[in-house]
Structure 1
Amino acid sequence: MYRFLLTPRWWGINVFVLLAIPFCIFLGSWQLGRFEDRVQEHRTANEQVSESEREAPRPFAEMLPVTKATSGEPVTATGHYGKQLLIPDRELDGRRGFYVLTLLRTASGEALPVVRGWLPGVADAAKAPAPPRGEVTVTGALQASETPGDNGVSARGGLPAGQTAAISAASLVNLVSYDVYDAWVTLAEADTGMQVVPTAALPDSGLDLKAFQNLGYTAEWFAFVGFVIFMWFRLLRREIELTRDMEVGLVPDKEPVAVATAAHELVRDSG
Structure 2
Amino acid sequence: MYRFLLTPRWWGINVFVLLAIPFCVFMGSWQLSRFEDRMQDQKTAEASVETGRREAARPLAELLPVDKATSGKQATVTGRYDRQLLVPGRELNDRKGYYVLSLLRTDGGKALPVVRGWLPGTPDPAKVPAAPTGEVTVTGVLQASETPGDNGVSAQGGLPAGQTAAISAASLVNLVPYGVYDAWITLTKADSGMTAVPATAPADTGLDLKAFQNLGYTGEWFVFAGFVVFMWFRLLRREIEFVRDAELGLLPDGEEERVAV
Q: Which residue of 1 aligns with 2:22?
A: 22
State whether residues 151 and 208 of structure 2, in contact with CA within 8 Å, keep that contact through their aligned partners in structure 1.
no
**How far apart are 1:110 and its partner, in Å?**
1.5
Task: Give the Cα–Cα distance (whole angstroms) in 2 for the partners of residues 122 and 65 of structure 1.
Answer: 33
**Residues 71 and 142 of structure 1 are in contact (CA less than 8 Å); yes or no, is this contact kept in structure 2?**
yes
Q: 1:209: which partner in 2?
A: 209
Structure 1: 5+ residue stretches without partners: 259-271
Aligned to 2:111: 111
Instruction: Verify: 1:182 aligned to 2:182, yes or no.
Output: yes
What CA distance in whole angstroms lies between the structure 2 residues aligned with 1:114 and 1:71? 15
SS of equivalent residue, structure 1 residue 126? helix
For residue 152 of structure 1, give the secondary structure of its aligned residue in structure 2: coil
Residue type of the alignment partner of 1:64: L
With structure 2 as the length reference, what TM-score do the two structures score? 0.94
Letter in 1 for 2:28: G
Q: Which residue of 2 aligns with 1:142?
A: 142
One-letter code aligned to 1:249: G
Q: TM-score normalized by structure 1?
A: 0.90
Number of positions where the alignment pairs a residue of Structure 1 with one of Structure 2: 259
**Are residue 218 (structure 1) and residue 218 (structure 2) matched?**
yes
1:84 aligns with 2:59: no
Greater displacement, 18-27 / 41-50? 41-50
Aligned equivalents of 1:151 and 1:215: distance in 2? 18
Once the two structures are TM-superposed, the CA of residue 175 in structure 1 deviates from its matched residue by 2.1
Distance 2:150 2:188 in 1: 22
Percent identity (aligned): 73
Q: Say whether the 8 Å CA contact 1:119–1:194 is kept in structure 2.
A: yes
Structure 1 residue 104, shift from structure 2 partner: 1.1
Find the counterpart in structure 2 of residue 10 from structure 1: 10
- Structure 2: any 5+ residue segments left out of the alignment? none
- 2:235 aligns with 235
Partner of 1:158: 158
User: CA RMSD for the aligned pairs?
Assistant: 1.7
Is contact 2:97-2:119 (8 Å) kept?
A: yes
1:255 Cα deviation (Å)? 4.9
- Note if contact 1:144-1:202 (Cα within 8 Å) is conserved in structure 2: yes
Match status 1:194 vs 2:169:
no
Where in structure 2 are the equivalents of 1:243-258 lying within 5 Å? 243-252=243-252, 255-256=255-256
Distance 1:209 1:154 in 2: 15
Structure 2 CA distance for partners of 1:18 and 1:176, relative to 1, 3 Å: same
Instruction: Indicate if the aligned counterparts of 1:246 and 1:252 stay in contact, CA closer than 8 A.
Output: no
